[in-house]
Structure 1
């Protein structure tokens, strides 16, 4: 164990030195969180391997992508361990996961040559070079491990969404999980598109333009797309599902109480005009456990829908009201 710890420390020092030499501002000065890097790929690959022989095409392709993410993480770390290199530049080692993934998509996933090469290059490039670009674009926001996990999550989501949604068009979803997955994938793609537009056109973040953009895209793109995929009104389905049983209604009320408690705690902390201590932050950790445990036990499908909805709402709020939220984060 001591040998592993010593080598891990040497690896961290080399990578931190490489990031500093390339003027990439890391979130912390003494830790890279390298163990987070392969987490997404490993979890995806393990999920695929535990599936029975009747796995779906989506599961197969995401499993292949998960294995590719592990390879991408290794290639990224090897690249950052090299001396006298510019980390921001694209390097030949980044082609290794692209080549391996293209071959796997072609031979194992039974995809066409063009599709296999496209997916291989996209996944291989974004899961390596994309991590560096994320750290460069958001200085002091991520450790290397965190940036890798975020980038890999986005890559895996895109692979899953662009594989699942065309299948749902030809084969309408039957189970609640399938319907919720399709809804969340379309809405998250909608939020990602809004983020890209607002980043490239800052004027769209102003109040009138922002809400006009959101409402316009919602009614012209999102709702028609979901109606075609689900063959029913998505709003009516979500409402009927949320209020279908006494358990889901109770969960909604319970979560509302937890939300009010969280808002009260934030307001109280801000009124103190002092930075929160570690013990103060633990209150929110306990609150998260209190929110998730009842849902996991009684209604995991409804919890899945609620978690995706909150992610979308927080992303939109952060996109438009970024500065106030950053002030809250500072106090917390």
Structure 2
């Protein structure tokens, strides 16, 4: 673990440094520049969520055998980053001597190397390279994100998001070159996956450029840069034909897919109207009003996962790219749309949007899409589609969390200890989630056995109880927890 001078406190100022924004932190060793989200717990346990979710994919029979080795490497990398996070948290709160510093710095890389050797039978040189590159890069990126976005994340939330970013970059490095230069015939999903990986990786590069060069944040530079991004993504020779033609061919060859697009366009228009109406009221949106977007996401993801999984997969990437570009415009105050976006953010932000970033809508999209993004074969195994795990985000936050919020705010009387959540809201979460699963089963959209019902019940109960007690971002944590449990069968 690399601790940069100025990132983490120096020996001369150990006693004066505190972890800001973290309740119960006590005397810490983190720099004053590292500020957690205020009025929330550190959420250290979140750093284990992604490794567990990825590991759950390995306990059942995987249909996409070509993804097993890559997925195994990503899982080990996630474990290494989890160990790196725990070591970082230990470093923050311990008075570390030189020996402990060296131990903490090298333990995550060594553990990752050993796992590559023992589980994947990779050469020592291969394991050492990827083990230390992954863990060092993750720790450095984690510190930079926390410094650049003070008060935006708890320590655990930042761990999840940075882990996801690093795993995406590693996935691109491992898969994209082989896919581009392979002579094998690719399916529609493979082509669209290549397009999405290339587009999001290019967008990541754009974000890095904007962070590094202030001149690019001006109107005359920003919009040409985004236009160049759009042209590069749609016209690069990464598919045959080019991505724009590939996308059009994919959309136009299926009438049902066209109907789905019309339906999605109607939902987008409805969303814009809802935002426009609420911002025109010049007041803060209530929790129940904000949950309308959860219901809209249910209408997007349930038919998409069941009937048009491949299209929804690429659409989720497009939506994430659009969200990112709009957020860049708002954060960097780029005319002419920045004022409108700031007004919408002010209206719909809640207590979790304490920093400069609009974290809640991003996490809603990420939470619903993450089950597809981390599955080994989300849309390619027609004989075993495993739809229930793919709907984890929709069931946990689109339905369960929405019901808990609405019932709890309207009828909640019995409060959980050390929480503002109510028992009535938790019961609503459990009942509505299980009822949604029952309806999906009755309409033959999913197939439920006795074992699956038992696992779904455990997942629902565990997720509901965590929703009632945690102060971390529900949209990010609940889908991963639900996915991990139901994906084990």
Interval of TM-score (by shorter of Structure 1 and Structure 2): 0.7 to 0.9
1:39 to 41, 49, 53: 49
| 1:82 alignment partner in structure 2 | 94
SS at 2:303 equivalent:
helix
Corresponding position: 1:329 with 2:341:
no
Superposed displacement of residue 138, structure 1: 0.4
1:188 to 192, 200, 206: 200
Computed over aligned residues only, the root mean square deviation of the Cα atoms, in angstroms, reads 2.7
| 1:96 alignment partner in structure 2 | 107
Question: Residues 160 and 62 (structure 1 numbering): CA distance in 2 closer, same or farther, change over 3 Å?
Answer: same
SS at 1:29 equivalent:
strand
Question: Residues 163 and 21 (structure 1 numbering): CA distance in 2 closer, same or farther, change over 3 Å?
Answer: closer
Corresponding position: 1:317 with 2:326:
yes
Superposed displacement of residue 109, structure 1: 3.9
1:123 to 131, 134, 148: 134
Q: 1 CA distance for matches of 2:260 and 2:164?
A: 28
1:159 to 170, 177, 200: 170
Q: 1 CA distance for matches of 2:112 and 2:195?
A: 28
Q: Which runs of 5+ in 1 are unaligned?
A: 1-11
Q: 1 CA distance for matches of 2:199 and 2:270?
A: 28
SS at 1:38 equivalent:
helix
Q: 2 CA distance for matches of 1:82 and 1:146?
A: 21
Q: Provide the TM-score with structure 2 as the length reference.
A: 0.58
SS at 1:230 equivalent:
coil
| 1:3 alignment partner in structure 2 | none
| 1:9 alignment partner in structure 2 | none
| 1:303 alignment partner in structure 2 | 312
Contact persistence 1:32–1:145 (CA under 8 A): yes
Superposed displacement of residue 312, structure 1: 1.1
Question: Residues 194 and 82 (structure 1 numbering): CA distance in 2 closer, same or farther, change over 3 Å?
Answer: same
Q: 2 CA distance for matches of 1:19 and 1:261?
A: 48
> What is the number of residues matched between the two proteins?
314
Corresponding position: 1:212 with 2:228:
no
Q: Which runs of 5+ in 2 are unaligned?
A: 1-21, 349-489
Contact persistence 1:38–1:73 (CA under 8 A): no
Superposed displacement of residue 60, structure 1: 2.4
SS at 1:26 equivalent:
strand
Aligned pairs (5 A) from 1:215-254: 215-216=227-228, 219=231, 222=233, 226-227=236-237, 229-254=238-263
Question: Residues 15 and 179 (structure 1 numbering): CA distance in 2 closer, same or farther, change over 3 Å?
Answer: farther
Aligned pairs (5 A) from 1:237-276: 237-276=246-285
Q: Name whichever structure is richer in helix by fraction.
A: 1
Corresponding position: 1:147 with 2:158:
yes
Superposed displacement of residue 254, structure 1: 1.0
Contact persistence 1:94–1:129 (CA under 8 A): no
Superposed displacement of residue 30, structure 1: 3.2
Q: 1 CA distance for matches of 2:119 and 2:70?
A: 13
Q: 1 CA distance for matches of 2:134 and 2:239?
A: 28
Q: 2 CA distance for matches of 1:16 and 1:149?
A: 24
Q: Provide the TM-score with structure 1 as the length reference.
A: 0.84
Q: 2 CA distance for matches of 1:152 and 1:173?
A: 32
